[in-house]
Amino acid sequence: MRVGLVCPYTWDVPGGVQAHVHDLAVALIGLGHDVSVITPADDDSALPEYITSTGRAVPVPYNGAVARMAFGPLSARRVRRWLREGDFDVVHVHEPTTPSLSLLATWSFDGPLVATFHTSVERSRTLAAAYPILQTALEKISGRIAVSEAARRTLVEHLGGDAVLIPNGVSMSSFAHVEPFPGWPGDGGALGFLGRLTESRKGLPVLLAAFETLSAERPGLRLLIAGPGDLDEVRRGIPAELLDRIELLGLVSDVDKARMLRSVDVYVAPNTGGESFGIVLLEAMAVGTPVLASDLEAFRAVLDGGRSGLLFANGDSDDLGLKAGLLLDDPAARTSLSELGRVRARSYDWSTVARDIVRVYETVALDSAGHGTPIPTPPGPGWRR
């Protein structure tokens, strides 16, 4: 099957949607499908051969963050040319309501069209105001997928219609034999954070407040932080006496991301909102690192209600510190969570998730006239409508 994947956000900045599209493309190619991805990208010199760049993106405030997207006449022409030359059996757009390539592709493509919805928001005046414009695009979608119940509910409440639930995936093979960085985690214990450093909803200030309290009682405790952002700005927010106990890696490669997750005793996800899934939780679980996460709905779902990882009260640095201390003091609990986490992560392996998505492709390809009608839930390891 010839599949076109559309990523609305720039390939140059790491994010959950970009990671999803990349891993899905690799999994589909591994299953023998012919795949092409179109995406904004500032630097297209090192892109894989299956990726087509539409050029530079522009920053746009979106869902509590700043997303880099591409829109306008030039992007539209490039999308139409990619569609024409691709001659796709099915086109799969991600986040079709964002003002970027996915919306342009949805308007332009007349064949079997699948859309995946990633975003979770409780209220959105923007979506409500834009609905008359978006409706013409949404009506063309043959199969709708949501990566989580939160994302599905956002679709139902804001845009109407329904979707099948197929989660994000994790490549277990990429995390199977990962070595920590030299000297980590160390005898004094180590916590880890991965995310956009200066984006408030990622919750780094909550973790830093908890770490300051924990450090007073644990002189050997360290914190390993990775992700894009202004490192100097982060350092300015750290008490001087703690700077030598916090290591800032900045933006890391996929290989070093896995090593970073393996280098800590506990991975902490202090995100405060706007998360529809939690792929980094799965990645930490895949390398065998216990997870401590805020009790967001999306994180509770990934952690199986707290059975595969520990939860703390959202935004509560005291509760975070308490739960982190309990895990740091209990090697047996960490070992148990490590084992349970690996088992949980295996059920999300891309080898399974990609096959469920292919079933969606096959359904819409067989009945491309059924625009806008959610297809039946594909069989799989427990995914539900």
Residues 172 and 151: their CA atoms lie apart, in Å, by 24
Q: Which pLDDT belongs to residue 373?
A: 45
Looking only at the bridges linking them, the beta strands covering 291-294 and 266-269 are: parallel
CB 259 within 8 A of CB 178: yes
Q: Which pLDDT belongs to residue 368?
A: 67
Q: Which helix (H) or strand (E) holds 108?
A: helix 101-108
Q: What are the average pLDDT values for consecutive 10-residue runs of the chain, which has 385 residues?
A: 96 88 96 97 88 91 75 94 97 93 95 93 58 79 93 85 92 92 96 93 96 95 96 93 96 94 98 90 97 96 96 98 98 97 96 96 79 43 37
Q: Which pLDDT belongs to residue 383?
A: 41
Assign 222 to helix, strand or coil: strand
Query: Please, what are the domains in the chain?
Result: 2-169+349-366 (3.40.50.2000), 173-346 (3.40.50.2000)
Q: Which pLDDT belongs to residue 126?
A: 56
Q: Which pLDDT belongs to residue 127?
A: 54
Residues 360 and 340: their CA atoms lie apart, in Å, by 30
- Sequence-distant (6+) residues with CB within 8 A of 9 are 15, 17, 18, 39, 40, 57, 67, 68, 69, 95, 98, 100
